[in-house]
Amino acid sequence: MGPQPTLSGQSPNNQASVNVTIDFGDSNRAILDSEIGNAAKVEITGGTAGAKVSQNFPVDTIWLVTINRTNGISNVTVIVKPNWYQDAALNYNNGISSTFVYDAVGPSPSITGPASNNQASVDVTIDFGDSNRAILDSEIGNAAKVEITGGTAGAKVSQNAPADTVWLVTINRSGGNSDITIEVKPGWYQDAAGNWNLVSTIFSSVFGIPTGIESSPPRIISVRKNIHLKG
């Protein structure tokens, strides 16, 4: 089997360039910097090669390459073509490709649950989106992170342990009958690209008859009996 190249780098990221390490495996010769970016050998789409630094000089089979994204925002794909260099046994190399994604949009949290009910508590699901870390149960109810008004968080159960980015939370209404609102505040957790989270839409749940159920006063049915007396 011929040399097996590998590609590694951060994906996604939110930068105008991405650093990619290209390891050409057990090549029997040095790889020239001019061959990186040559479409017949190491093709780059969605960007152009900038700085190229050998990581194992003078062997020069591992290169760190800064690739500048087209317009600063494009996805970059690197393709090492097969059959243009060899190992010591004169086997030609295999090919490989990898895409390095641009992402500048932070996680978008969402909150779902009943808009109204007549219970002393309400169960809501809070989805923190593509957070790059677990959300702690102690952060739910922290006014700087997940603010709850009109009630307090009771039971909190992760719906996707151990990632812990989706939580089912029981909110106890103040006094057993208050309206509640919940808001995930912006800028306190990140995605894999380093973008800070967005603010959620404010979720509200009103205390009262659940939406879609009509309420009407009880009807009084009068029954009259005719009694005939025999004389």
Q: Give the CATH number, domain containing residue 193.
A: 2.60.40
Q: Is residue 212 part of a domain?
A: no
Last residue of a domain, one of 100, 123, 140: 100
- Residues 56, 145, single domain; the answer is no
| Cα–Cα dist 217/203, whole Å | 30
Q: Is residue 23 part of a domain?
A: yes
Instruction: Give the distance, in angstroms, between the CA of residue 149 and the centroid of all CA atoms in the same chain.
Output: 27
Statement to judge: residues 95 and 167 lie in one domain:
no
The distance in angstroms from the start CA to the end CA of the chain is 120
What is the domain count for the chain?
2
Domain boundary pick from 100, 132, 160 = 100
Q: Are residues 75 and 135 in the same domain?
A: no
14 within 8 A of 193, measured Cβ to Cβ: yes
Q: Tokens for 169?
A: 């939370």
Q: Which residues contact 104 (CB under 8 A, 6 or more apart)?
A: 14, 73, 193, 195
- pTM value is 0.81
Q: Give pLDDT tens digits along the chain (231 positions).
A: 999 999 999 999 999 999 999 999 999 999 999 999 999 999 999 999 999 999 999 999 999 999 999 999 999 999 999 999 999 999 999 999 999 999 999 999 999 999 999 999 999 999 999 999 999 999 999 999 999 999 999 999 999 999 999 999 999 999 999 999 999 999 999 999 999 999 999 999 999 965 554 544 555 555 455 555 555
Q: Domain of 40?
A: 6-100
